[in-house]
Structure 1
Amino acid sequence: MCFSSDEMSSQVRLRLLPSERCLYDKPIQVKVSHLKSRQVVSIKASSTDERGVLFSSSATYRADENGEIDLVRDASLSGSYVGVEPMGLLTTLKPNIVNNLFVKDKALEPHMVKFSVHDEEEQDRMLAEATNERFLMADGVSRVSVEEGNFHGVLFTPPGKGPFPAVLDLCVMMSEKRAALLADKGFVVLTVPVFNEQPVNVKMLHLDPFEEAITFLLQQPKVGSKQIGIVSKSKSADVALSLAAFVPGVEAVVWINGCSANTVLPLFYKTQQILPALMFDTKKLIPTQSGAFIAKYATDDPLKEENRATLIPIEQANTHFLFVASEDDLGWDSKAYMIEMEERLKHHGKKNFESVCYPKAGHFLEPPYGPFCFSSLNWFLKKPAVWGGGPRAHAAAEVHLWKKIQEFLRSHVICDLVQNNAKL
């Protein structure tokens, strides 16, 4: 609880329930009380990301006859969003510098969000404030940096004896957020970046370091599964498909808004090139008024005869797939790639996949309740890109998908108690 003043309890109160401290992927209830009956106020939120970029949001609310506002119940009249959006102040946080993604990648540091209530007539007059600490690591989860052979990453292990299923979190550039949160759900998770440096400096990609990561993960004492699950998005999604097709040990793959072909860089395994790269044409980028570009139609068509060699042979994988596509993804033509994969698997008599589509969501599907990203730098294009979607639909998709990912991994990455006891 937080009071605007230490004086009397009649002062305006801003409460974050059930607590001001919570996990990143948990919703909170924002309540204001001790206002005048029907008083109009603005409620603001602000947060600074790991690069020091300030993000902020604001919404105008009218108190009820008892002088109370409850964001779960009440509609915003104007501001960053309109209508009933209990977590709208978080999901609509916008950067003060255009074309910026909210960077929250380090698991040891909480996402700090400052909430404040302001008199609508005197905007400089703050009536109450409170700070929400949103943790990426739950109590008892352990975090260990890993540098083994040709890969580096971070290992997150849940509390308790286990055995736990093993998950490889493939991120394009290093991020601990999704892995740390998944460990709280009962998975041993190793997060490994596809790129250790800016992708523009890389000439080819090798699957071998990721195979080393899989081997390392399966050797962890609390791991009880014989194979692993992989969670991936964007460029890392085609790497995940390639691991399923060429490398043993992959039981399940979550593919989010990626391509069905190997993109950008030629792919090698055991010193041999296994897939050429599907490229993009910068002349097909569509400029927008914000200065960011729509890249959806710039990638070459993998189904054209001259590009078919880039298609990843997922039909040869003994893997369960969860394909996830945002229909308003403006970074990739994700839904088209998903349909291509579904049809190819069906053609080969395979039923080892399920799919989910989100009609008005954009490219960056992340764990829920983070700021919606309209546009940010695309590392491969070296230009800002528009990612598509709208805050409300995108936020709803993230809540639904987060549960879906956990259910999918639990149902397919199964623990073997005998194997676990043999290790110990």
Structure 2
Amino acid sequence: MSSQVRLRLLPSARCLFDEHVQVKVALLRSRQVVTVRARSTDEKGVVFSSSATYRADGRGEIDLDRDPSLGGSYVGVEPTGLLWSMRADRPHKRFQKTNSLSPHVVKFSVHEEGGEGRMLAEATNERVLMGDGVRRVPVKEGNFRGVLFTPPGGGPFPAVLDLYTFGGGLSEKRASLLASRGFVVLTVALYGHDDMPKNIREVHLDYFEEAIEFLRRQDQVGNNRVGVISLSKSGDLALSVASFLPGVGATVWINGCCSNTLLPLYYKRSQILPALMFDVTQIIPTESGAFIGNNVLHNPLTEENKGSLIPIEQAKGRFLFVASEDDLNWDSKAYMDVMVERLKRHGKENFESVCYPGAGHYLEPPYGPYCPSSFHGIVGKPVLWGGEPRSHAAAEVHIWMKIQEFFRTLLSCDATQNKAKSLIQLQSYKQQ
């Protein structure tokens, strides 16, 4: 490997997962054509990689923020293209990064043009999920299980309950990154984590009520109203939490349904919503071996299914509805339209909606590998998630900033609120 060519990652080779890192190459020959590569291994041992061809300028320099890729995993000026365009080394694999304690390690390298190409320079990018000073505390209290993330300092901070997806286990990525941006975040598992059941047949809102009360009791939380963020199946859970439970000031719904789906919903031991079911025979096979499943759910608007619609007009807080128009898992845009029409019909204006034409189902914190398809636990087969990689990546950057702005605006807190809350807690303690 040549010691002359230099590959730099700016402003630092270590950054947060959701931060843009600038890739620059220097000391090449004037107008030299090279291949720049990125490679990473996820928590399941799956290798993801990307590559792009660049031509150096007259000074022998390449700047991915400025220069276009001539070919490879993408073309054109894409400053973070090597990150979002990484693909798995086997079909139907989704990038797995759920543990917040270890960084997402990406190896960048520069190679001579043609074939494998001799390596000229390399650099390692550590993309951490927890910013400096963020505290991570596993929670095993009452009936719920999760992990609490708290920013450095005494606060007060806005609080968010992260439901992530409906799958078993626990994902810490989004929660830890939100905490790194100044939020107290509790991410909870519904099943399949720690000593919890491996599967469930019904969902109880009491579980989330307990989690919300836990969040509100935290010393660093300065507002009695919390936020809720969701994705996919947990989208309808978030709607129900906002509609039936007190203390929710802001709810982010991402690519979910307008009805309670898959499992009946209970509260105080009584069923409050039946489940909108699906017909797996409606999935459409494709040549890739993955299936399209955005039409498997029954129509929530038919007379026999209307009971599953969530009465979101009861919610006291505000909603941010986020729909990907190329979602091949749910018909998210249609479900969002149903909710917007329902709220307007009830004279409600407590919502805003955002659509992304070229995005697919899994809208996550930005700069992770785009996932075209992976195994679906409910369907029991690999499915297509939809979206065009470049458009999907741009949507993730945009919505990630919008989510933070939405929560900060609605859940802002100050020292006066925090002092008042502490006084109330002290009085309550003295009365016990």
TM-score interval for Structure 1 and Structure 2 normalised by the shorter chain: over 0.9
Separation in structure 1 between the aligned mates of residue 339 and residue 199 of structure 2, nearest angstrom: 30
Give the equivalent residue in structure 2 for 1:348. Answer: 346
Mapping 1:6-405, distance limit 5 Å:
11-121=4-114, 123-172=116-165, 173=167, 174-196=170-192, 201-405=199-403
User: Which shifted more, 409-418 or 335-344?
Assistant: 409-418
Q: Secondary structure at the match of 2:224?
A: strand
Separation in structure 2 between the aligned mates of residue 140 and residue 331 of structure 1, nearest angstrom: 37
Q: Secondary structure at the match of 1:223?
A: coil
Q: What displacement does 1:124 show?
A: 4.0
What runs of 5+ residues in structure 2 fail to find an aligned partner? 427-432
Q: Secondary structure at the match of 1:408?
A: helix
Change (3 A) 1:122 1:199: same
C-alpha contact 2:192 2:199 (8 A) present in aligned 1: no
Q: Secondary structure at the match of 1:305?
A: coil
Give the equivalent residue in structure 1 for 2:430. Answer: none
Q: Deviations over 1:181-219 (max 9, x none)?
A: 111221110011233369993211111111110011101
C-alpha contact 1:208 1:269 (8 A) present in aligned 2: yes
Separation in structure 1 between the aligned mates of residue 115 and residue 396 of structure 2, nearest angstrom: 36
Q: Deviations over 1:346-380 (max 9, x none)?
A: 00000000001111001000011111010111111
Q: Deviations over 1:102-147 (max 9, x none)?
A: 0111111000000111111352411111100001000011000000
C-alpha contact 2:294 2:330 (8 A) present in aligned 1: yes
Q: What displacement does 1:338 show?
A: 0.4
Q: Percent identity?
A: 64
Separation in structure 1 between the aligned mates of residue 145 and residue 420 of structure 2, nearest angstrom: 26
C-alpha contact 2:219 2:422 (8 A) present in aligned 1: no
Q: Deviations over 1:295-315 (max 9, x none)?
A: 111111101111100101111
What amino acid is aligned across from residue 99 of structure 1 in structure 2? H
Q: Secondary structure at the match of 1:335?
A: helix
Q: Deviations over 1:141-185 (max 9, x none)?
A: 100000011110000001111111111011224111111111122
Separation in structure 1 between the aligned mates of residue 29 and residue 211 of structure 2, nearest angstrom: 59
What amino acid is aligned across from residue 127 of structure 2 in structure 1? R
RMSD, aligned CA = 1.4
Q: What displacement does 1:66 show?
A: 1.3
Q: Secondary structure at the match of 1:164?
A: coil
Q: Deviations over 1:355-407 (max 9, x none)?
A: 01111001000011111010111111111110000111011111110110011
Separation in structure 1 between the aligned mates of residue 412 and residue 38 of structure 2, nearest angstrom: 41
Separation in structure 1 between the aligned mates of residue 171 and residue 137 of structure 2, nearest angstrom: 14
C-alpha contact 1:327 1:334 (8 A) present in aligned 2: yes
Separation in structure 1 between the aligned mates of residue 116 and residue 305 of structure 2, nearest angstrom: 58
What runs of 5+ residues in structure 1 fail to find an aligned partner? none
C-alpha contact 1:199 1:380 (8 A) present in aligned 2: no
Q: What displacement does 1:412 show?
A: 1.0
Q: Secondary structure at the match of 1:181?
A: helix
C-alpha contact 1:31 1:68 (8 A) present in aligned 2: yes
Separation in structure 2 between the aligned mates of residue 296 and residue 211 of structure 1, nearest angstrom: 31
C-alpha contact 1:44 1:56 (8 A) present in aligned 2: yes
